[in-house]
Structures are given as C-alpha cells and as structure tokens.
C-alpha cells in the first residue's frame, strides 16, 4: 500500500485463513480516516468487507488492483 508517487510499503495488512473463515488485521487508523472522509480509507474498507464474499481471494492483491483502478 502506498500513496501515489511514494514507494510501496509492506505490512499494513495481514490476513490468515482459519477454519471456515478468514481473519484480517490492519494497523491503519480507520477510526480517524473514515470520519475525515479520506477516499483511500473508504476504498480499502469496502474492499475488506467485499473480501469476505469472495472465497480464496488475496486481500493484498485486491487492494493493489483497486488502487490502480483495475478492481474486479
């Protein structure tokens, strides 16, 4: 994940398939970004919610696709 023109940063998102579900952890401050209307925070949050509906999809790849405008 990165802002336009910045180097790619790793480690902001961790996910693990466990049993019949998937756990997703992010170190981002959604509680600050969403009330401020940060567009990237909304895109990321919606992609994380949509991830639960698409079995086997890697959330990190989904985020890169949405950031580049190529979301499926």
pLDDT digits over 34-53, tens only?
999 988 889 888 888 887 66
Q: Where are the domains of the chain?
A: 13-67
Work out the number of other CB atoms within 10 angstroms of the CB of residue 40.
Answer: 15
Q: Could you tell me the pLDDT band of residue 19, with boundaries at 50, 70 and 90?
A: confident
If you compute the radius of gyration of the chain from its CA atoms, what whole number of angstroms results? 12
- pLDDT, mean over the chain: 76
Q: Looking at the DSSP assignment, which residues form a beta bridge with residue 50?
A: none
């Amino acid at each position: 994940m990165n802002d336009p023109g910045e180097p790619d940063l790793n480690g902001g998102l961790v996910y693990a398939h466990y049993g019949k579900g998937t756990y997703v952890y992010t170190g981002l401050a959604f509680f600050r970004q969403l009330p401020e209307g940060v567009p990237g925070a909304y895109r990321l949050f919606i992609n994380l919610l949509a991830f639960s509906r698409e079995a086997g999809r890697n959330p990190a790849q989904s985020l890169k696709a949405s950031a580049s405008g190529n979301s499926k």
